[in-house]
Amino acid sequence: MRVVSFDVFDTLLVRVQARPTDLFAQLGAELAAAGLKVPAPAAFAAARQQAELAARRTAPGGEVTLAEIYAALAPALGWDEATRATAQQRELALEERSLRPVPAMQSRVATARAAADAVWFLSDMYLPAALLERVLRREGFFREGDRLFVSGEHRASKHRGDLFVKARAQAGQAITDWLHLGDNPHADDAVPRAQSIRTELWQDAVLNRYEQLVLTRAGGLQPPSAASARTKTSRPSTAGQRDAPD
């Protein structure tokens, strides 16, 4: 069986927010506007980050779900169960409406689909697989028969390599050729290559050093930026394929 797999975030999809912390700050402002008990946006973003770190310390393999993050966040902010559930649902809704496709990758996935027996998607992420599949379908990436492996639900990660192992084990037949494409030099390149998976490192949707410099100089949390999203998703591809070691 020939498999082509893709990373999801900053490969196929990008957020309109430059950084996850910007999304958390926006969420804090939306929760406050809805009358929920939350600190100022920047403080809420910090609390949300700390809750994720706390949840990871006790989760199997350090891989968490959004529900586990909110189970740690709620007592820190003095929330009751109803407030926790509302805030968690609003984060899911904000993520879903903030995600945009990387146009160059739509044709790349279509090309892979024509040449492979199976198309898979692997993501180190706490969001539910159901949400990611819904967005991937919405943007034309995911079709019937494809498979999606999300670290929080599988308690395994690309970063450690065991998510690739689990995906291979669930293939149902021997994989004769596997190409993985993603943006992270470690999780999407070095780790799969060590497992004899061919890789294609693709970083055109990652913020470049000039964009990072603008964010650093501006300081603080940045609001969503449509211009930034266009920049991140419209660069021409400069990807290069690399073969896995023998």
Specify the pLDDT at position 212.
56
Specify the pLDDT at position 172.
87
Alpha-carbon span 235 to 198, nearest angstrom:
24
Specify the pLDDT at position 204.
81
Specify the pLDDT at position 206.
72
Q: Low-confidence residues of the chain, pLDDT below 70?
A: 207-246
Specify the pLDDT at position 205.
74
CA-nearest of 200, 198, 222 to 212 is: 222
pTM of the model: 0.86
Q: How far is CA 1 from CA 132, 173, 192, 242, in A?
A: 25, 7, 17, 20
Specify the pLDDT at position 231.
42
- The strand order across the sheet containing 198-201 reads 147-150, 118-123, 2-7, 177-182, 198-201, 240-242
